[in-house]
Amino acid sequence: MRLLVCGDVVGRSGREVVLQHLPNLRESLSIDVMVVNVDNAAHGFGLTEEIARQFLENGAQVLTGGNHLFDQKEIIGFLEKEKRVLRPANMPTKVPGRGTLEILVPGNRKVLVVHLLGQVNMPLIGDNPFYYMDELLSRYQMGNNVQAIIVDFHAEVTSEKNALGHYLDGRVSAVVGTHTHIPTADERILEHGTAFQTDIGMCGCYDSVIGMQKTIMEKFVRGFSHQRMSPVMGKATLSGIVVDIDESTGLAKNVSALRTGWSFPKTQLVNSF
């Protein structure tokens, strides 16, 4: 089984590069499961129903969010009726929507997608993601009632992401870090077979400050800014990760960073399959 997770989509340029490449990537890389993080898809802040439908109609099977998911007021009602859009699972139970999704892929194979929020320096602090996963994994076992478990961990600090990766090593197929928009060069398979990358980067224009206009530099220079953050509309790059999974165990066999679009002349897998 082969999985693709696309990093945080930032604004229109990010949406366009993902929508352009998703169908081709599914076919050319024989992708079974496609997950897209859409936390910044609506002009850099959250998601709308219209944008969500564009991704779902172009091949994404699951959309994950993060700390900005609720920035667009209209999304609340949509989360309650569209199970393929996930909010962080470790948020309080009264928050609209859900944080996990079981999907079936051809061959009657079941994949569990889990979306989690970090605890450190996050404006929407969720319940402890480590304890949450312990409880969830008491009900799911790879190689038994599910063929793969994918975790999108939307967190600020690298240490918390690394800690969760090692904590879940051998119990899930992949722990994929999102939120910080800059791809880290540490995609690997951990000791007990879980694929991991601290952050898979963003889908957006990298000639920017994490996808936003460079005018936000003023905040760092002067300590404040009257400029509202706004996404860059420019040539964009799709950043993500591809994972091959052994369906008998649910563990990773291969993992590779994926970047395509501007500044990357063709789809490149860092490691050959």
> Which residues are catalytic, by number?
68
Structure tokens at 83: 């199970």
What angle do helix axes 129-137 and 158-168 make, rounded to 10 degrees?
Answer: 20
Largest pairwise CA distance in the chain: 57
Q: Tokens 């990358």 belong to which residue?
A: 197
Instruction: Report whether 22 contacts 34 (CB < 8 A).
Output: yes
Which of 154, 237, 229 is closest to 198 using CA atoms? 154
Residues, the chain = 273
* Alpha-carbon gap, residue 13 to 188, rounded angstroms: 29
| Sign of the Cα pseudo-torsion (26, 53, 95, 14, in order) | positive
* Strands 174-178 vs 148-154: parallel, antiparallel or unpaired: parallel
- Identify the helix (H) or strand (E) that includes residue 267: strand 264-269
Structure tokens at 163: 């800690």
DSSP state of 229: P
